[in-house]
Copies of this chain bind each other. A is one copy, B any other.
Amino acid sequence: MNAVQYMEHWAARVEATLDQLLPAEHAAPPIIHRAMRYSTLGGGKRLRGVLAVSACAAAGGDPERALPVAAALEMIHAYSLIHDDLPCMDDADLRRGKPSCHKVFGEAMAVLAGDALLTYAFLVLGRLPLLSGAAAPTALAIIEEVAAAAGTAGLVGGQVADLEAEGRAKQLSGEELRRIHARKTGALFRASVRSGAMVGGASQEVLAALTRYGEELGLAFQITDDILDVVGDTAAMGKRAGQDQERHKATYPALYGLERARAMAQEAIERACAAVAPLNERGQVLADLVRWLGSRDR
């Protein structure tokens, strides 16, 4: 299997796990379960989920056992997209090639669907011993890891900083930009890699190597995503291109120019690969994966 086949294989397994773990559509009240499923299933690269699975394997664990954690991470990612897309936030109409959640179900239901997905992620993590055979202390460590990454030191904090920076993109320093994205996208990537590694029983040394990998991958992903917003097209991305510029968002290409931004992404990818090099063959998939990510903007 090459990296693309590997990603596709595990993305499909993560999707199936999500389908299985999310409440059924007909369960009362159906509308909220329809909204949760609409925004979680049937799209996306499942990058966070695949990272958790791959990190579990890289740590020497059975990747199947990381699937419930992978599903929980994707629920949190889906919740954050639903809330980010709300009219009071980024006011985005299109997500993963479909109308965004509030466009289909209304604002109130979109807020509640996000709330429910966030809650449900922790329900799944609370059941990890049952779902994946994790020891209770490991499950708690993963809950702490994921909650910290989703909170104000991570996801939520990054969105706040991003909203605050809007309109003053030009005054932003590279360091501020890096800090925003370390929270907004980086924290959950880092937590995905780390929680997968924990399920896989990683030693402290392996966990440290995978953590560095996750941080560099997060940076590479964000720069590439910013570049795609400039050079990509709406159909291929499933969300509208050019949104960042319209909203005067601070981005890597805006701050550094396209060429320098590409070089920065490449440097982060090299550092990510270097971090997992000591894992030898076990680190190969992760190295392939981050290189594939970097190739998206060509």
Q: Which residues of A contact B (CB under 8 A)?
A: 23, 27-29, 31-33, 36, 79, 83, 86, 88-89, 106-109, 111-112, 114-116, 118-120, 122-123, 125-129, 135-137, 139-141, 143-144, 147-148, 150-152, 156-157, 159-161, 163-164
Contact = CB atoms under 8 A, between A and B. Distances in A.
10 contacts: A23-B152, A29-B161, A33-B152, A88-B111, A111-B111, A112-B160, A116-B156, A120-B152, A123-B147, A143-B143
A32 B157 contact: yes
A140 B147 contact: no
Given A111-B83, A111-B89, A125-B143, A119 B29 contact: no
Contacts of A128: 140
A122 B136 contact: no
Contact of A159 (B112, B123, B129, B152): B112
A108 B126 contact: no
A272 to B, nearest CB: 26
A17 to B, nearest CB: 18
Contacts of A116: 151-152, 156
Contacts of A83: 111-112, 115
